Amino acid sequence: QQQQQQQQNKLMLAAVEYGIGTGLGSDLPLPEKKIDQEKRKNQPQYLVLLRHGKTEHNRLGLFTGWEDVPLIDVGRAEARKAGQILKLHGIEFDVVYTSWLSRSIETAWLVLNEMDSMWLPIVKTWRLNERMYGALTGLSKSMVQERHGLERFNRWRLSYETRPPPVSPFSINYPGNDARYVENIKDIRYSFFESFIRSVSHGRLELHRKFPRTESLKDCMSRTIPFYTNTIIPKAIDKGKNVLITSSENAIRGLLMHLMDIPPDRIQDVQIPTGLPLVFNLEKRCIQLLDDGVERESPTALWEQYNFGTAPELLFKPCTADPDELTSNSNKNKKKKTTQKNNNKSNNKVSDKKNGSEEKDEDEDSCFAYSVGGRTFRHDPIIRLEQSPLFDPSPSNVHHFHDQHNPNHVDDDTTIYAKIQRFRSRNMAVNESISV
């Protein structure tokens, strides 16, 4: 016990010194970035969710879970591009939250390196780890699907409450056999069964915590959501900080399910692409993508090139969606805003009618319409470069971004400014509101 206490003290000292978390959540004092409130006054607050870049398990189609696999070159390139796009939009983070898995940590490092923000505090917590896939960890997804059928495979992989088969407590994939979890996690209760078995096996008394042997998405959310509500919200969101969360697919799916009130029976239709920054609009409670400045034939091409599952409308709210499918919070906010507007207009109602200029409720009837493709959304699913309040249209900034992705192509300043002008023209064409 004395050795464990000394080890914990060392970890806490390192956390305070280097600005990292040990999984204990809100107990650790972290160095805080001083926020210029005057500068941020007219700027939006950003909450960005980023799934780690591709790993070898992603490439081979293997269940990963808590297995700690590194990024491959493609995944590192995805993380660097994410950082470059965030920097291109002028977004500055104040704090970063990530898991204990190296693929998420490395993704955060690469993003911050591209943004010249490596010094930012990074809070690491096991509560943002990927869902524990149990006995499926390391197995081929195609093999599991062939052996057990598509229906059971999809329930194990994407459903809300179904757990995969549990891993053996003597398996190398069991977290209770990993020193990093055994020595450092203090916020899980002890397991009588595991403590008894290990005490008998080792011939001495051992207290063993109830580490997960398998998890459903619901189980995963039981640890990620309390960390978000009890730590991230009071320590960052409520203080007006810009937050980056780098984690794994199911941890992010659970967060989005909580943030957007996605029904449990629909969450299996949602998937998260690797290495793509998802900007959660705290006011409109929807997901938006960042325009990368690359010219495409259709304005919908950026959105359509990624796989968000069979129901992307759960993340990007369409105008044609049934109102019951929209998040309850969005409906409450809309009703609240409508009530406030009605109250404000009640005193001038008679004069408005006389003037024939009775105002319409934009929140109720307004939609974003693409000029190409025929798609309509309640909000623009893409944050356009020219609409980003911190976008720097200088040639050096745009030039540097495009050089990173096409080093063999060089534009002169005139060409770059022509591209910027086309950005402006394109945005004027697509950023229109129409009545549905």
Candidates 429, 96, 269; CA nearest to 260 is 269
| C-beta atoms surrounding 42 within 10 Å | 7
For 142, 380, 413, 424, the CA distances from 400, given in Å and listed in that order, are 41, 27, 12, 20
First to last CA, the chain: 66
Active-site pick, 52, 57, 208, 402: 52
CA 263: distance to chain centroid?
Answer: 18
Beta-bridge partners for 376: 369
400 is catalytic: no
Name residues whose C-beta falls within 8 Å of residue 258's C-beta, 6 or more positions apart in sequence: 221, 225, 228
8 Å CB contact between 433 and 362: yes
Give long-range contacts, CB 8 A cutoff, 24+ apart: 186-189: 186/8, 186/23, 186/24, 187/23, 187/24, 187/25
161 is catalytic: no
Residue partners of 215: CB distance under 8 A and separation at least 6: 131, 132, 133, 134, 163
| Set 92, 106, 130, 249: catalytic member | 130
Helices 217-227 and 249-260 meet at what angle, rounded to 10?
A: 70
- How far, in Å, CA of 188 to CA of 209, rounded? 6
Active site residues: 52, 130
